[in-house]
Structure 1
């Protein structure tokens, strides 16, 4: 045991000596002494360690490398700071001059034609991916089925990846309830969970009835849109053929539950009101948030559709569509209810 302790002490002293030589500058006498040798003794055996190479290695490689890294970090920090100021100036400009999307893009309410009737309304697919969402499945399915839109021009698609049989039965019951009220609702299930949410969305797009739709809306299982959601968002796509996505803002029902939820609300509100609103106003790229957004089917198909190779399928699709020149619109005044995670 004594030998073992001495070995540990020797290793500690050696490491401290190396660190002292590599990261601290001593006097010339100390340097000369250190450059000769580090000597340690374990049970009478002398071990010598030449440290000249460590000092040369530090001066030639480590110090320049750290200087470059520090300079790089400072440049990145400066760029982020400038970008933040620029985005906030854009938001201030939007607020002062009331540059709302309705003034930037063409927007007209949807109206029925006397002869064609509902045929003037585009076909809209609403996708609700869910997985064992017992607490919110009734709220999300109900909110989607209450959307104000001609029933013959709307398809609600519940993508249920639940593994709990009880929850599956609850989903079936809820879908049957709304189907009896005249809503065209489909409950689609897979025999696997490959790709998770992205895989479910991708599989849902393969059904024949989807080909009839012009636009697709995605709502996560804990999101509850207002009944007039489609009436506010879809006209931007109908009257602006260059627009691929209309993104709504999230509004949190449990934001005041605790300090953590309030902090998350502040962070997400900055993301929406600064990053996304400034990007939309400048016709610049901003990412799809994965939910509460309406996509143009043609834009999704041109961009390659959903890829289940990644768990950030929202950003992946938005980047591919943005690179093809499609524009995105953010609606700060259009909100969708949501829950902030509290665990």
Structure 2
């Protein structure tokens, strides 16, 4: 009997109307589980559904602070709360994740809500109006981003969303490189695949304005979910190094320095305590853009791993204590067990371009190239995040 079942039985013994439900398969993954949950007979007596992933810990007053927005405004379909990371100080990788996600909530979600524009559901720490969920077509498992899929369809039906930045739900960031890579694959591949599936549906929709169609297609999907990943990798890891080998190609300073600097500083707005980590954040994001670009192309082309769903591993306090005990007794695992050839390949390319620039080049990009190559090598040899020994 797991802890959730024990807790449910404890509350049921006090007269609280609470049910513990599980299913015996993983069909449709998270979307399949949510669809299965909606089939129970008691759902018809409910008006709202609150959704939390397993590692999320809402405060006792979560419902009393979110439900009133739905009760008093029938046009609102979703109330989304902010995430608060309990392990952001665990390692450098979690600090950098915190920077990216704080920007997402502070700028993207907050601005989208404040300007009454569309913003996506984060898949957890939110409350949905069941009538809106039903009108939008319910949960679909056609992609690995069932949350974004539902949000887009509900928005096209004219429903509105509210983001509450002052309500924070505790959760845990993935702290191993393996878990983070799987998560980023799903978060990059899924939106690109959803864009492919919904482009014509959005364009043909007659219930929303042309402005909203352009906003969802161009700004939400094309720029933020596709172009951002591809441009980051192609520009910083392919084009800039290539200009060393082909001196006839010149990148203007506004493109190579000024605009990227402004974007980088904006990303630090949400996490001012990590301002001193900006250089590490830039290098790490450039490395991760390799996998995000690959995942985006897989989603657009519907290639082999398009529907791959690997549950993001969270270590939790118990496992971390166990790891600490093991590391005190045993040496770390062999380097060969954690080699990442793609990162090592790109790192070698950058290092070669840096050496060429030192010997024959005139661009003086070698400092950046060597530092970025080092970042790829560090990730390529697995020296990022918390390391879990399976011995």
Q: State the TM-score, normalizing by the size of structure 1.
A: 0.50
User: Which protein, 1 or 2, shows the higher relative CO under an 8 Å CA cutoff with sep ≥ 6?
Assistant: 2
More strand by share: 1
More helix by share: 2
Q: State the TM-score, normalizing by the size of structure 2.
A: 0.44
**Larger-gyration structure (1/2):** 1
